[in-house]
């Protein structure tokens, strides 16, 4: 009988061994070409231009457009706040006097959210300004060719405001070929570039007070008042998600008390973002916006700037829709 059971147990054991060599498995394989899987930092401190343009295209509001006849002096309303005036014979096309139809396109950035949508600082960090708005004017003919101003011609850009404050200046912004996505702000030369006056203009049949920029240059215009200087410091920001790098992320210091946004620079060596000349004690919202594989990711943290400290910004790993991003930016 023992022999019978020994034989039987051997048969059963072999059978179980043969039929039981299987187990549940789960294997994850990352895509080799997915942008999200790239956590390396670019040696270039700025975001790649293509990524920069993609974010702006996805988030920016539409430019305000209008037109005028270059042969005549014309005043055109842009929106409920803005008015442009061009003198006659002030346009050049390929260096030649242009007298035809001129199409105007005006980008207007007035809120902190608008600044972030355009991935731009409202001022340089070494001199902080409280901005009424940033404006970028471009002129094109009907064939979309760029039109420039004749030498010495001056156009007016008037910003209507019911609460006109003193101390605002014309801050001109310039870019260069090396960093076309970075704006350098500086007080406009009153003789060569332009100046700001406080004016009362006829706007939609009524006289209204306005900040009026008289400019001889096309390009970025910033109506801003300098912020009182105070002790400043610097700080670094570490993002809480390794996937958010300087190739796909921009970090901003959004001042609560001023209409001022500073875009942080990236430090490739430490894989952090940093800001300089930030007033000590300033109440700031650190905001990160990342754009990866067509999806937006946001991060936000309120801080009071202390002296030379590092901050850790915990960004969300949950994608946010464009409507969600806009709603977030409007609330800043």
Where do contacts with other proteins occur on this chain (CB under 8 A)? 1, 3-4, 7-8, 11-12, 14-16, 18-20, 22-31, 34, 36-37, 39, 234, 236, 238-243, 267, 269-272, 274, 293, 308, 310, 312, 317
Which strand ranges, in their side-by-side order, compose the sheet holding 74-77?
A: 74-77, 82-86, 155-160, 206-215, 194-203
Closest contact distance (angstroms) between CB of 300 and other proteins is 16
The smaller minimum CB distance to other proteins, of residues 30 and 95, is found at 30
The smaller minimum CB distance to other proteins, of residues 31 and 331, is found at 31
The smaller minimum CB distance to other proteins, of residues 226 and 319, is found at 319
The smaller minimum CB distance to other proteins, of residues 22 and 144, is found at 22
The contacts of residue 193 (CB under 8 Å, 6+ apart) are: 170, 172, 215, 216, 217
Closest contact distance (angstroms) between CB of 59 and other proteins is 22
Closest contact distance (angstroms) between CB of 36 and other proteins is 5
**CA pair distance 281, 304, nearest whole angstrom:** 5
**CA pair distance 302, 89, nearest whole angstrom:** 51
Closest contact distance (angstroms) between CB of 273 and other proteins is 11
The smaller minimum CB distance to other proteins, of residues 34 and 302, is found at 34
Cα separations in angstroms, 200 against 82, 163, 190, 194 = 13, 13, 20, 18
Closest contact distance (angstroms) between CB of 308 and other proteins is 8
- Give the alpha-carbon dihedral of 298, 300, 305, 306, to 10 degrees: -90
Considering Cα of 156, then 111, then 183, then 50, what sign does the dihedral take? negative
Closest contact distance (angstroms) between CB of 35 and other proteins is 9
3-state class (DSSP) for residue 267:
strand
Alpha carbon distance, N-terminus to C-terminus of the chain: 86
What is the pairing mode between strands 232-239 and 309-313? parallel
**CA 99 to centroid of chain Cα atoms:** 35
The smaller minimum CB distance to other proteins, of residues 10 and 202, is found at 10
Closest contact distance (angstroms) between CB of 39 and other proteins is 7
The smaller minimum CB distance to other proteins, of residues 125 and 272, is found at 272
């Amino acid at each position: 009988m023992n022999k019978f059971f020994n034989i039987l147990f051997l048969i059963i054991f072999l059978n179980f061994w043969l039929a039981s060599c299987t187990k549940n498995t789960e294997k994850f394989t990352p895509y080799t070409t997915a942008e999200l899987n790239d956590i390396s930092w670019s040696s270039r401190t700025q975001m790649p231009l293509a990524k920069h343009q993609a974010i702006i295209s996805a988030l920016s509001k539409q430019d305000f457009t209008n037109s005028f006849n270059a042969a005549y002096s014309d005043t055109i309303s842009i929106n409920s706040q803005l008015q442009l005036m061009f003198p006659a014979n002030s346009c050049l096309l390929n260096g030649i006097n242009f007298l035809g139809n001129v199409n105007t396109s005006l980008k207007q950035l007035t809120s902190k959210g608008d600044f972030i949508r355009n991935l731009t600082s409202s001022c340089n960090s070494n001199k902080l300004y409280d901005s009424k708005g940033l404006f970028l004017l471009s002129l094109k003919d009907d064939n979309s060719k760029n039109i420039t101003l004749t030498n010495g011609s001056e156009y007016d850009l008037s910003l209507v405001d019911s609460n006109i404050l003193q101390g605002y200046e014309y801050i001109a912004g310039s870019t260069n070929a090396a960093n076309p996505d970075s704006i350098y702000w500086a007080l406009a030369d009153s003789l060569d570039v332009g100046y700001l006056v406080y004016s009362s203009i006829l706007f939609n049949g009524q006289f209204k007070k306005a900040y009026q920029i008289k400019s001889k240059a096309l390009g970025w215009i910033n109506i801003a008042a300098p912020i009182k200087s105070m002790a400043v410091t610097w700080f670094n920001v570490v993002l809480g998600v390794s996937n958010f790098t300087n190739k796909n992320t921009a970090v901003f210091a959004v001042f609560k008390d001023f209409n001022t946004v500073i875009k942080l620079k990236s430090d490739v060596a430490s894989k952090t973002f940093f800001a300089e000349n930030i007033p000590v004690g300033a109440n700031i919202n650190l905001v990160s916006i990342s754009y990866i594989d067509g999806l937006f990711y946001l991060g936000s943290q309120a801080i009071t700037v202390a002296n030379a400290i590092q901050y850790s910004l915990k960004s969300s790993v949950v994608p946010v829709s464009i409507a969600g991003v806009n709603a977030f930016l409007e609330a800043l």
